[in-house]
Chain A
Amino acid sequence: MAYIEIKNICKSFTNPDNGSIQVLDNVNLELETGEFVAIFGPNGCGKTTLLNVVAGLTEFDNGSISIDNKEPSESKIGFVFQNYSDSLFPWLKNIDNIAFSLDSSEESKKQKHHRIRDYVKDIGLGELPLDKYPYQCSGGQQQLVALFRELIYKPDVLLMDEPFASLDYDRRITQQENLLKSWEKTKSTILFISHELDEAIFLADKIILLSQRPARIIDIYDIDLPRPRKIEMLEQEDFFKLKVPILKKFREVISR
């Protein structure tokens, strides 16, 4: 049995104006432990709904989800939201934002802070102003705080909903590299939504291509680029060999 099994998931939303809208249509997905899987599909196809379902934030109609043989509600879920600044608590310093993930009963505040500082240093993504408030930091730094808050939680699965969508291209590249570095250190299992094919190929082991709404799985692509990935790979032929068939299929999907 795979580490994460998503079986026959269907989901419809009922809407008072035009009845029921089906969003997910029989989605089946398996993730191995430590795998980095990207979900790619047209805008509004139900990617976020799929992620919310896996997170246990949205109920599903039928099917089953198991994470390490547990229900999603019993698993530790990490979730990095697209709107990172809205997911941070502006009344807490960065370090306390990260400490929000740590169970309050076990350690004193001082021990937690100590652990967080060590952890951030250990992952080694450079200086992070832990004693500042989020609003005093750049977008990239806020994003890292949001990422660290999830990583230190040691989730069974880390769900990421287009986390870099609102960043400029140069910042996005930096953050993608940061994410890969921390992923290689923490060996997290990641389910990552992207609306950017280059990003999905650069990051993931596997790409799931979804159809337009209701989302079905069209195809699954293995990305066998060597690791650690370097940004130069985006310029190489191997990259294009992987990209062309996915892009072709994607164009078919959106022209339907």
Chain B
Amino acid sequence: MMKSRLSGTIIFLLVWLLITSTGLISQLFLPTPVDVFKELFLLVISYEILYDLFASLWRTLVGFFVGCVIGVSIGLIMGHYKTFYETMEFPVDFFRSIPATALFPLFIVIWGLGDEVKIFIAAWSSSMVVLINTIYGIRNVSITRLMVAKTKKASFLKTFVKVMIPSALPYIFAGFRIGLSLALVVEIVAEMFLGSQSGLGQRIFNASSIFEMEEAYATVLVVGLLGYFLNKTVILIEGRVVHWSGR
């Protein structure tokens, strides 16, 4: 496993080295990995990129957290109350179908151009995914388990907390996983196109607009690594919390 993961990384770097050093792609647009890693090293030791990394990470996580709270709470109600589901189905599906990026102008009007709008965009995108997964989770509670609660005359609260929510948790966690990746993507995009004082997206945008391609790609690498580790973290927590899933 470790071995094949390592060889995958090496192949990727070799292909990159090959197409850039042979001039297949001009180094003006895609620098060699050696140059990019050299730049990355400089950016890291000067702390410059770390500052942007934390700015992006912070906004992504706050937005994601808000999105999860909203998505889970509305999802639980929509999953359980049919009339509420029917009322909300169209608005939810409608807004879910619009790419968050298309709503940037509207969001700016509401939230301005500071941190709030970027946090809001991450919250918006992740809440949609979490919401849908929570609804599915609640709706897929096993009928047998509900009958167990019913024959034991369990109160609604006990049934909801001890049977329905745990049943839905594997679905909810799948929503968290997708939602967090999405939050990071829209966060980076928002930083690139809404203008920002900090953040990895802002750095990519600024560097590429003045043709500092080494810096742009070094930042892209950092974004990729950040996404990778965020995903791994959720999977790790998921395995601990919903330990019964898939068994």
Contacts and interface: CB of A to CB of B under 8 A. Distances in A.
Do the two chains belong together in a single complex?
A: yes
B145 A100 contact: no
A79 B151 contact: yes
A52 to B, nearest CB: 8
B142 A86 contact: yes
Interface residues of B, number: 18
26 contacts: A55-B147, A56-B151, A57-B147, A77-B151, A78-B151, A79-B147, A81-B144, A81-B148, A86-B142, A86-B144, A87-B144, A87-B147, A87-B148, A89-B145, A89-B166, A90-B244, A91-B166, A91-B169, A91-B243, A91-B244, A100-B148, A100-B154, A133-B243, A133-B244, A135-B244, A135-B247
A86 B148 CA distance: 10
B239 to A, nearest CB: 14
B82 interface: no
Contacts of B244: 90-91, 133, 135
Contacts of A104: 158
A57 B151 contact: yes
A87 B142 CA distance: 8
Given A89-B145, A91-B169, A91-B242, 14 more contacts: A56-B151, A57-B150, A77-B151, A81-B144, A81-B147, A86-B144, A86-B145, A87-B144, A87-B145, A87-B147, A90-B244, A91-B244, A104-B158, A135-B244
B162 A153 contact: no
B153 to A, nearest CB: 8
Contacts of B43: none
Contacts of B151: 55-57, 77-79
B17 interface: no
Contacts of B163: 89
Interface string A108-135: 0000000000000000000000000101
B152 interface: yes
Contacts of B247: 90, 135
Contact of B148 (A79, A90, A91): A79
B144 A100 contact: no
Most buried by B among A57, A83, A90: A90
B152 A101 contact: yes
Interface in A121-165: 133, 135, 153
Q: Is the interface of A mostly helix, strand, loop or mixed?
A: loop
A172 to B, nearest CB: 20
Nearest to A81: B144
A85 B168 CA distance: 17
B166 to A, nearest CB: 4
Contacts of A91: 166, 169, 242-244
A211 to B, nearest CB: 26
A81 B146 CA distance: 12
A100 B152 contact: yes
Contacts of B150: 57
A87 B152 CA distance: 13
A122 B53 CA distance: 61
A113 to B, nearest CB: 16
A77 B162 CA distance: 20
Nearest to A77: B151
A81 B149 CA distance: 13
Contact of A153 (B144, B152, B166, B243): B152
Contacts of A89: 145, 162-163, 166
Nearest to A82: B144
B164 to A, nearest CB: 11
Contacts of A135: 244, 247
Contact of B144 (A56, A78, A83, A90): A83
Nearest to B241: A91
Contacts of A57: 147, 150-151
A249 B56 CA distance: 77
In the complex, which of the residues B151, B162, B163, B169 has the most CB atoms of chain A within 10 Å of its own CB atom? B151
Kindly name the residue among A56, A87, A91, A101 whose own CB sees the greatest number of chain B CB atoms within 10 A: A91
Contacts of A101: 152
Contacts of B142: 86
B162 to A, nearest CB: 7
Q: Which 9 A-B pairs have the closest CB atoms?
A: A90-B244, A135-B247, A91-B166, A79-B151, A86-B144, A77-B151, A87-B144, A81-B144, A87-B148
Interface in A70-86: 77-79, 81, 83, 86
A128 to B, nearest CB: 19
Nearest to B242: A91
A55 B154 CA distance: 14
B135 to A, nearest CB: 20
